[in-house]
Amino acid sequence: MSEDAIVFAQDLTKHYQVALKEESLLATLRHFFFREYRLVRAVEGVSLAIAPGEVVGFLGPNGAGKTSTLKMLTGLLHPTKGTARVAGHVPWRREKAFLKKITLVMGNKQQLVWDLPAMDTFRLNAAIYEIPEGEFRKRVGELAEMLALEGKLHQPVRKLSLGERMKAELLAALLHRPEVLFLDEPTLGLDVNAQVAVRDFLKEYNRRYGATILLTSHYMADIAALCPRVLVIHQGRLLYDGALEGLLERFAPYREVGLTLKSPLPKEALRAFGEVREVEGREARLLVPRERLMERVAEILKRLPVEDLEVKEPPLEEVIARVFQEGHVEEPR
Amino acid sequence: MRKAKTLLSVYLAYMLEYRAELFLWALAGTLPLILMGVWVEAAQSGAFPLSPGEFARYFLMVFLVRQATVVWVVWEFERDVVEGRLSFRLLRPLDPFLDHLAAHVAERLARLPFVLLLTLLFFLLFPEARFVPEPLPFLLGLGLTVLAFLLRYLMQYTTALLTFWSERATAVEEVFFLLYLFLSGTLAPLEVFPEPLRSLALLTPFPYLVYLPAAFLAGQEVALFPGLGVMLFWGGVFFLLWRLLWRLGLKHYAGHGA
């Protein structure tokens, strides 16, 4: 796999120091003369291999090491330890040929020139990436159509809505047709419609151009819609690398049982059947270990006044939150 | 070539968005014209090596040279590093040095009409300062002005790279600016400096940023050498410093969480 991989990392590690300061006046004075530092272990021995054309989701809570990993893979950070190759290059050498093959989109930062129409930034990028004029026009037309951005490219960027601005950011970042896309929270702050539009675009872009995409997002819907494979990182370590369904199997070895009761019952009365997630009136949700599901359902049907019962996968958000909160998964009783 | 043309045209469009500010910035650079009034008055006594008319011409040229060599890259660079926008520049296959340089050159083009307007106004108010320049020294003066701009840009860009370590490189630039103000010939032509100070000043890069080009443009009797040699020497020194600090700075930036 690693031989064919377009993104490959082995034992990638990033440690750095940050200055510490407490808030009192005395602490400020002390900080001025004697700085104290704390070692941040942002990334710890991450190894991964991504094949050309794959779309991979990168999950983790804030500060888990996602962005640091992306920055190492795009050459913005030197690793403390480990190796990486992206599109045949060592990223942190920042060779021109490498920079022309990749792109990084950060949802919280923008490269478009604020006071000018987006078209001017595109022209600038076309010149920097040495895209011939005819090809530039063609690509802008194509991408603007895919992103439904026609008619917006000649307005100053500051007059665009947040969703339109993000789409224009994507257009600017993809004009040189990179082989590998690193997307850090590309749907951050967008409304649901704009999120769906960006998602659909990325799907279509991947299908049309065979680009490899590594994407971080807090929105599970992004991951579920785009990424057959996910990487889960927590406290700098890779916890999981595999199919999205496998993630549920591994981190959520339980099912959710939804109950509609004939009459309301207190939480305590339900505890014997599983972990009670929610009780509201006659509705209740329980988590039950997968291997004991049949037995527990039978018990519930026998002992409780059940009107309706439904078994489903627990929501992805909940599973992920659980992994991150606990650092590991506790089996429900 | 196309790259340079597009960079210039986009940055020109960007600068033209700030037309009113450009006029104010040009106006803010009129300190030499104020100083001119003081020196012309003082020169009436005849105690200085330059005549009142020569003083007037010199300070007009100082005004023009300074307009052509304004540099603000240290503020831009500092903001880029502090706000994390440098990452975008580093992801492009174009050195940020050239990117910022293009923005500066474009600003010059956008500023030109305002500067010409102020010059015409000046000649209208001070007819005694009007003169017909000798072609050769004037052309040399223009060439030196371009070199002065490049040297000032290189010096400030090198200072800007200190942001990688201190995050407030503008503080260092303020100190440099003080030296620049005194030693460049902005406050007084070097002819009126007392002797040891004058020789000392000529060894620093500052007089070549203003005095030398302005004196040539004003048609004063000045020698091209060794001045040009000293200027190129400092150019070489700052070039090497730029490359060194850039390499070390990037390593530091990349080592500390970008």
Cα separation of A132 and A129, whole Å?
Answer: 9
The pLDDT score that the predictor gives to residue A16 is 87
- Tell me what the mean pLDDT of segment A166-186 comes to: 94
Confidence of residue A331 (pLDDT cuts 50, 70, 90): very low
Task: Quote the mean pLDDT of chain A.
Answer: 89
Q: Per this entry, what is the length of chain A?
A: 333
Q: Which of A37-41, A165-169, A218-222, A291-295 has the lowest mean pLDDT?
A: A218-222
Contact check, Cβ <8 Å, A68/B257: yes
Contact check, Cβ <8 Å, A104/B87: yes
- Tell me what the mean pLDDT of segment A258-282 comes to: 91
Contact check, Cβ <8 Å, B3/A71: no
The pLDDT score that the predictor gives to residue B33 is 85
The pLDDT score that the predictor gives to residue A2 is 60
Residues of B in contact with A77 (CB under 8 A): 254-255, 257-258
The pLDDT score that the predictor gives to residue B105 is 96
- Per-residue pLDDT of A146-160, as tens digits, reads 999 989 999 999 999
Q: Per this entry, what is the length of chain B?
A: 258
Distance from the A74 Cα atom to the nearest Cα atom in chain B, whole angstroms: 8
Q: End-to-end CA distance of chain B: give it in Å, rounded.
A: 32
- Tell me what the mean pLDDT of segment A270-282 comes to: 90
CA distance readout (Å), B226 to B141, B186, B199, B233:
15, 21, 12, 11
Top mean pLDDT of A17-26, A165-174, B162-171 is at A165-174
The pLDDT score that the predictor gives to residue A319 is 75
Residues of B in contact with A124 (CB under 8 A): 6-7, 10
Closest CA to B103 of B94, B113, B116: B94
- Per-residue pLDDT of A81-95, as tens digits, reads 999 999 999 999 999
Residue A5 structure tokens: 């991989």
Using a CB–CB cutoff of 8 Å, tell me whether B98 touches chain A: no
Residues of B in contact with A76 (CB under 8 A): 87, 90-91, 254, 258
Residues of B in contact with A16 (CB under 8 A): 255-257
User: What is the DSSP pairing of strand A81-86 with strand A55-59?
Assistant: unpaired
The pLDDT score that the predictor gives to residue B230 is 97
Q: Which of B87, B90, B94 is closest, CB to CB, to A128?
A: B94
Cα separation of A33 and A123, whole Å?
Answer: 48
Cα separation of A33 and A21, whole Å?
Answer: 12
Contact check, Cβ <8 Å, A113/B88: no
Cα separation of A119 and A172, whole Å?
Answer: 9
The pLDDT score that the predictor gives to residue A241 is 93
Q: Which of A76, A99, A111 is closest, CB to CB, to B258?
A: A76
What percent of chain A clears pLDDT 70, i.e. is strictly above it? 97
Torsion sign, CA atoms A130, A136, A142, A146: positive
Confidence of residue A138 (pLDDT cuts 50, 70, 90): very high
Task: Give the ranges where chain A is alpha helix by DSSP (H).
Answer: 25-33, 66-73, 96-99, 118-128, 133-146, 162-174, 192-209, 220-226, 244-251, 267-270, 293-303, 316-326
The whole-angstrom distance between residue A18's C-alpha and the CA centroid of its chain comes to 25
DSSP tag of A314: P
Residues of A in contact with B7 (CB under 8 A): 124, 127-128
Q: What are B124-133's contacts with CB under 8 Å, separation 24+?
A: B126/B56, B128/B52, B128/B53, B128/B56, B129/B53, B129/B56, B129/B57, B129/B60, B131/B53, B131/B57, B131/B219, B133/B217, B133/B219
Query: Given a cut of 70, is residue A278 above it in pLDDT?
Result: yes
User: What's the whole-model pTM score?
Assistant: 0.85
- Per-residue pLDDT of B80-104, as tens digits, reads 988 888 988 999 999 999 999 999 9
Domains of chain A: 7-248 (3.40.50.300), 253-312 (3.30.70)
Mutate to test the interface with A, among B6, B19, B98 (most CBs of A within 10 A): B6
What is residue A63's three-state secondary structure?
coil
- Quote ipTM for the complex: 0.84
Of residues A290 and B89, more confidently modeled: B89
Q: Are B236 and B161 in contact, with CB atoms under 8 Å apart?
A: no
- Per-residue pLDDT of A79-135, as tens digits, reads 999 999 999 999 999 999 999 999 999 887 888 988 899 999 999 999 999 999 999
- Closest chain B CA to residue A112: B88
Confidence of residue B256 (pLDDT cuts 50, 70, 90): low
Closest CA to A175 of A224, A214, A209: A209
Of residues B256 and A171, more confidently modeled: A171
Q: End-to-end CA distance of chain A: give it in Å, rounded.
A: 39
- Tell me what the mean pLDDT of segment B74-83 comes to: 91
Cα separation of A139 and B203, whole Å?
Answer: 54
Query: Given a cut of 60, is residue A161 above it in pLDDT?
Result: yes
Q: Which of B6, B251, B255 is closest, CB to CB, to A124?
A: B6
Distance from the A17 Cα atom to the nearest Cα atom in chain B, whole angstroms: 7
Secondary structure of B108-144 as H, E, C letters: HHHHHHHHHHHHHHHHHHCHHHCCCCCHHHHHHHHHH
Q: What is the DSSP string of A204-242?
A: HHHHHH--EEEEE-S-HHHHHHH-SEEEEEETTEEEEEE
Which residue type sits at B183? L
Mutate to test the interface with A, among B7, B79, B87 (most CBs of A within 10 A): B87
Sole residue written with tokens 């993104």: A7
For residue B172, the enclosing domain spans 2-255
Residues of B in contact with A125 (CB under 8 A): 92
Query: Given a cut of 60, is residue A332 above it in pLDDT?
Result: no
The pLDDT score that the predictor gives to residue A27 is 79
The pLDDT score that the predictor gives to residue B258 is 53
Give the count of beta carbons closer than 10 Å to the beta carbon of residue B29: 18
Q: Which of A78, A100, A127 is closest, CB to CB, to B7?
A: A127
Q: How many CB pairs below 8 Å do chains A and B form together?
A: 75
Confidence of residue A214 (pLDDT cuts 50, 70, 90): very high
Of residues B133 and B204, more confidently modeled: B204
Residue A332 structure tokens: 């429900």
Helix (H) or strand (E) holding A84: strand A81-86
The contacts of residue A20 (CB under 8 Å, 6+ apart) are A35, A36, A37, A38
- Per-residue pLDDT of B157-174, as tens digits, reads 999 999 998 878 899 999
Cα separation of A270 and A296, whole Å?
Answer: 11
With b for 16 or more beta-carbon neighbours within 10 A and e for fewer, the B98-135 pattern comes to ebbbbbbbbbbebbeebbeebeeebeeebeebeeeeee
Domain count, chain B: 1
- Closest chain B CA to residue A169: B88
Confidence of residue B129 (pLDDT cuts 50, 70, 90): confident
- Closest chain A CA to residue B94: A128
Query: Given a cut of 60, is residue A330 above it in pLDDT?
Result: no
The pLDDT score that the predictor gives to residue A190 is 85
Closest CA to A290 of A264, A265, A257, A259: A257
Of residues B65 and B45, more confidently modeled: B65
Query: Given a cut of 60, is residue A144 above it in pLDDT?
Result: yes
Confidence of residue A328 (pLDDT cuts 50, 70, 90): low
Q: Are A313 and A293 in contact, with CB atoms under 8 Å apart?
A: no
Task: Quote the mean pLDDT of chain B.
Answer: 91
Q: What order do you get walking across the sheet with A55-59 strand by strand?
A: A102-106, A180-184, A212-216, A55-59, A229-234, A237-243
The pLDDT score that the predictor gives to residue A203 is 95
Q: Which of A76, A120, A123 is closest, CB to CB, to B90?
A: A76
Of residues A324 and B219, more confidently modeled: B219
Cα separation of B11 and A113, whole Å?
Answer: 10
